[in-house]
């Protein structure tokens, strides 16, 4: 065991004053009472019923916005009843259109 004489004088136990991370997105309150995402208090996001898409836009784009437009409908004639088979067959049909090639 180390003796008290080997402990530096400026030693502080615990994590007080230690910066865990830096971020432009999350901004904790100095007193630990609130959290803001890009300047918007998280309590406001919860109480106003902000949608997932709006929060995503705030986190990724830095502002509330429309986000991506809805994808254009692309009906696929696949209905086996097994979603795994449908997805596999659908991807095989869409791969050439999207420019995917075999590995």
Instruction: Give the structural domain span for 90.
Output: 71-103
Q: H/E element holding 95? A: helix 83-98
Look at residue 20 and tell me if it is in a domain: yes
Residues 77 and 96: their CA atoms lie apart, in Å, by 16
Dihedral angle over CA of 34, 39, 41, 45, nearest 10:
-150
Q: Is the per-residue pLDDT at 1 higher than 70?
A: no
Q: Are residues 52 and 16 in the same domain?
A: yes
Q: Are residues 55 and 15 in the same domain?
A: yes
Look at residue 82 and tell me if it is in a domain: yes
Look at residue 6 and tell me if it is in a domain: no
Look at residue 79 and tell me if it is in a domain: yes
Look at residue 47 and tell me if it is in a domain: yes
Could you give the number of structural domains in the chain? 2
Q: Are residues 100 and 76 in the same domain?
A: yes
pLDDT for 75: 82
Q: Is the per-residue pLDDT at 41 higher than 60?
A: yes
Look at residue 4 and tell me if it is in a domain: no
4 against 54, higher pLDDT = 54
Cα within 13 Å of Cα(62), Cβ side: 2
97 DSSP 8-state letter? H
Q: Is the per-residue pLDDT at 82 higher than 90?
A: yes
The pLDDT confidence band at residue 65, using thresholds 50, 70 and 90, is confident
pLDDT for 84: 93
């Amino acid at each position: 065991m180390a003796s008290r004489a080997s402990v530096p004088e400026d030693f502080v136990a615990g994590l007080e004053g230690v910066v865990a991370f830096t971020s432009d997105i999350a901004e904790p309150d100095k007193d630990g009472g609130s959290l803001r995402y890009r300047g918007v208090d998280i309590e406001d996001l919860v109480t106003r019923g902000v949608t997932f898409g709006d929060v995503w836009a705030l986190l990724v784009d830095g502002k509330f916005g429309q986000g991506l437009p809805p994808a254009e409908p692309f009906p696929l004639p696949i209905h086996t009843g097994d979603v795994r088979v449908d997805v596999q067959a659908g991807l095989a049909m869409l791969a050439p259109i999207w420019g995917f090639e075999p590995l």
